[in-house]
């Protein structure tokens, strides 16, 4: 039986799932941790376990809401939704994501201690060079995820 390393928190937010074929699905998270989430959605019959996808998590329901961009893979499919394991997050989104989880936690100190032991996702930094080319640097923090 799987033992979770990171606490899941009951957080409901709109989440957009996009696969490489550009098909998009919109659902609502039921719980989120630093490493994964469960998303309620319908019409997802063509999603498969191990599909890689990009996620857009809205911090709130306002039209001008901050969006958090993550890369993930689908690890479980159920009739009412999917479980995703996060692979990476853009560095500029990390603090907002962290704050969302801290605010939802009944014990933020314990949550941060868990995070120090088992960081759930990689942090991707994108730099624009003066020449206009982009450089991506990934800080690998999740040894269990393989790209």
Per-residue pLDDT of the chain (147 residues; tens, 9 = 90+): 344 567 899 999 999 999 887 789 999 999 999 899 999 999 999 999 999 999 999 998 776 789 999 999 999 999 999 999 999 888 888 889 989 999 999 999 888 888 777 665 666 666 556 666 655 555 545 444 444
**Tokens encoding 49:** 């376990």
The residues pairing with 58 across neighbouring beta strands, listed in sequence order, are 67
How buried is residue 142: exposed, middle or buried, by Cβ count under 10 Å (0-12/13-18/19+)? middle
pLDDT at residue 78, as a whole number: 97
d(CA 145, CA 147): 7
Report the CATH number that the domain containing residue 95 is assigned in CATH.
2.40.10.220
pLDDT at residue 38, as a whole number: 98
How many domains, the chain? 1
pLDDT at residue 116, as a whole number: 74
d(CA 44, CA 27): 10
* Predicted model pTM: 0.80
Question: Whole domain around residue 7: which residue ranges?
Answer: 1-147
DSSP 125: E
The residue whose two tokens read 């032991």 is 117
Q: Let me know: does 58 contact 96? Beta carbons within 8 Å.
A: no
């Amino acid at each position: 039986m799987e033992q979770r390393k990171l606490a899941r928190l009951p957080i409901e937010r709109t989440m957009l799932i996009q696969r490489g074929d550009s098909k998009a699905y919109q659902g609502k998270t039921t719980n989120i941790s630093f490493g994964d989430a469960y998303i309620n959605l319908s019409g997802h019959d063509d999603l498969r376990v191990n599909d890689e996808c990009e996620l857009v998590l809205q911090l709130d329901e306002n039209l001008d809401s901050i969006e958090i961009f993550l890369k993930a893979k689908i690890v479980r499919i159920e009739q009412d939704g999917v479980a995703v394991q996060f692979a990476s997050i853009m560095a500029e989104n990390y603090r907002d994501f962290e704050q969302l989880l801290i605010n939802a936690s009944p014990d933020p100190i314990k949550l941060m201690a868990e995070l120090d032991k088992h960081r759930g996702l990689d942090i991707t930094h994108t730099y624009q060079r003066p020449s206009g080319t982009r450089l991506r640097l990934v800080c690998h923090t999740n040894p269990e995820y393989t790209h």
